[in-house]
Amino acid sequence: MEVEGITTFSDPPTTSYRYALKLENDKLSIWMEDRTTKKQWYKGAMAKADYVTSANSVTDASVGDYLKCFQDALDGELDETGDIQRTLEFRTGGALRLSFSVKFRVLRSMRVAKYTFKLDSVSVERIDVLESKLRDLQEELEKGGKVHPVKFTTSKKNGSILLWSPIVVGEFASTSLDGDVQIVREGIYNIAVIVNLVCHNQNQIVQLLMNDELLQMVYATYCGYGTSVSLNTTERLEKNDKLTIRCDCNLSGTSDLTITRLGN
């Protein structure tokens, strides 16, 4: 049994978290991710006795019932008068303290059960970050958000720097003077590059740079005649970030840089 969703712990604007609750062999696991920083926390293989005590136990409740209760706590509205509350605290060493407070009415009396979990910080590989970004993008697309690709073209370069056509739109600005495409609006972007070229030497490369730092690189095929190479990546870009394409080879025809803003 596994459930997942998105939750917050204060009124917007605020950080949102992706969560997953999993029950396997009656052992509960909790995973959370900061959707902005992509930091992750996890606590796994918890037996019922690890989170249920005499003070918070519910008569005849199964581990599945508790999981559903925790899901309701994470999915519920942020209402201080509600029956289910959730809080999140940052602890020393990067851990999180996740707490639920649940009100139960028994006859004419009110009982409050509290459940607390310490989630440990986990290391995140670059591939995990990219997968998380793709999930965010898929959610944006499923919401029906419109995407508007912007295409820059060129057949010129200065040294090894491609000089893109001058464009000023809502999200980007390019003057064609220095080869930089400046980001005007922060967000998550797909960057697609097609460079048409002719290489006359081996080990010549095409590079995608952000703020002069390498994002992606590809070796161009040494063949002595016209060919093309492509680069494609999805990245979170901040306001005033600059994208640059560097190519060691001679250009052949027109090359394209297509940037699509996919979401916040």
124-153 pLDDT per residue, tens: 665 566 566 666 666 666 565 566 788 888
| Half-sphere exposure (Cβ direction) of 230: Cα atoms closer than 13 Å | 6
Specify the pTM.
0.52
- Looking at residue 135, the DSSP 8-state letter turns out to be H
Tens of pLDDT, residue by residue over 183-241, are 888 888 889 999 988 887 778 889 999 999 998 998 887 666 778 888 888 888 888 89
Rounded CA separation 200/226 (Å)? 10
Rounded CA separation 72/67 (Å)? 9
Rounded CA separation 21/30 (Å)? 5
Q: How far is CA 37 from CA 15, 91, 95, 108, 114, in A?
A: 9, 17, 15, 46, 29
**Residue keyed to tokens 């005499």:** 54
Of 39, 4, 2, 1, nearest to 18 (Cα)? 4
Amino acid 143: pLDDT: 60
Is pLDDT at 179 greater than 90 in this prediction? no
The DSSP bridge partners found for residue 152 are 257
Task: Using alpha carbons only, give the angle 205, 210, 211 rounded to the nearest 5 degrees.
Answer: 120
In the chain, which ranges are E strands?
Answer: 2-8, 16-24, 27-34, 40-46, 84-90, 96-106, 109-122, 150-154, 157-158, 161-162, 167-168, 172-174, 181-183, 187-198, 205-210, 213-219, 226-237, 242-247, 250-251, 255-263
Write out the two tokens for 258: 């297509």
Is the separation of the CB atoms in 86 and 27 below 8 Å? no
Of 198, 196, 173, nearest to 249 (Cα)? 198
- Residue ranges of domains in the chain, CATH in brackets: 2-144 (2.170.210), 150-263 (2.60.120.40)
